[in-house]
Amino acid sequence: MSITSAMFTGVSGLLANAEGINVIGNNLSNVNTVGFKYGRMLFSDMLSADIGNNSQIGRGTMIQKVDNIFGQGSFESTEVTSDLAIQGNSFFALGKPGETAAVNTEDAFLTRAGAFRANSDYNLVNPDGYVLLEANGGEPIKFLYTDGATAGDFVKVTAIDSQGVITYVDVNGAAYYYNGNGGAALAATSANYATALANGAIAVVNPPNPGGLTKVGGTLFQVTSEAGVPTGAFTAADNTANGTSEKLFSNSLEQSNVDMAAQFVKMILTQRAYSANSKTITTADEMTQEVLNLKR
């Protein structure tokens, strides 16, 4: 083992901790991003070199994984009925902008950011145009609208309950339940609630292993095989919030789960680790200079 090996060990620490600062910087830059889940850098040691006598010397560090931490963020109350937050581990399921066909669970985009609005096509969409899906079959939520004068024609959302049943008013001010994509107008009465829950509840997905989800930007995640999400069509039985452990809140948005104090502490530790690794390189350089000075 030469002295210069220590330089390369120090370089591995510089590179790894530089990426660690990038992760921390991304967390802090998204402290006000609705539904954002912060990441953490995990390091591991590199393959050690055997120097005999059952002894090994490490060769530095490497990035093992960047974990997404899905802890619950705090809720902010809003004045918009279609702003939604989830209590629990589930995610809202979205289809691509302009989506009109049913979407399977493995193809849906997942998010905790619940800022939804009715667009000009009478879909509920997020700010980027991704359409919110319904639990029964995974079709895009699309409100009834014939000519603006027919009973049941959508005007605005007035309530969304803990299980994702949507109530809206029509052009005459009468209350209706959303009854699924293409479903008949359904008056908002207690006798019709079960039908609305079965046909038109908002779809949620509860991945057994959320760490297996992949970030794709825009506070969206995509499903991978590691997430453990069942493949195939959405079903009302599996993709509706139960109203207890998994519960929707209207007039609410989930804030970022970034703890600024914790991130600044990690920033200090990462900065000191970076400085320490640079000292390893300069010290090895000084030792090399001492060797060169043996012959004058």
> Tokens in use for 199?
């046909």
pLDDT for 48:
76
Closest to 118 in 3D by CA, of 135, 148, 143, 137: 143
Lowest mean pLDDT among 56-60, 203-207, 245-249: 56-60
Q: What is the DSSP letter of 226?
A: G
Residue 4 in this model has a pLDDT that exceeds 90? no
For 175-202, what is the mean pLDDT? 96
Q: How far apart are CA 191 and CA 6, in angstroms?
A: 75
pLDDT at 1: 55
- The encoded tokens of residue 58 equal 């490490």
CA distances from 32 to 40, 129, 132, 141, 253 (A): 18, 21, 23, 28, 12
47 or 150, higher pLDDT: 150
CA nearest to 89, candidates 226, 222, 7, 204: 204
Residues 47 and 59 sit within 8 Å (Cβ to Cβ): yes
Using the predicted structure, report yes or no on whether residue 50 has a pLDDT greater than 80: no
Query: What would the mean pLDDT of 282-286 be, rounded to a whole number?
Result: 90
- Provide the token pair at 176: 């209706």
Residue length, the chain? 296
Q: Is 137 left (phi over 0), alpha (psi -120 to 50) or beta?
A: left
Residue 91 — φ and ψ, nearest 5°? -130, 150
Distance between CA atoms of 132 and 138, rounded to whole angstroms?
Answer: 9
CA proximity to 84, closest of 55, 60, 112, 45: 112
pTM of the entire predicted model: 0.89
DSSP-derived secondary structure for 138-168? -PBPB---SSSSSTT-EEEEEEE-TT--EEE
Taking residues 111-127, what's their average pLDDT?
A: 96
Identify the CA nearest to 20 among candidates 59, 70, 62: 62
pLDDT of residue 296: 67
pLDDT at 73 over 90: yes
126-179: pLDDT as tens digits: 999 999 999 999 999 999 999 989 999 999 999 999 999 999 999 999 999 999
Residue 266 has pLDDT above 70, yes or no: yes
**pLDDT score of 56:** 80
What whole-number percentage of the chain has pLDDT above 70?
99
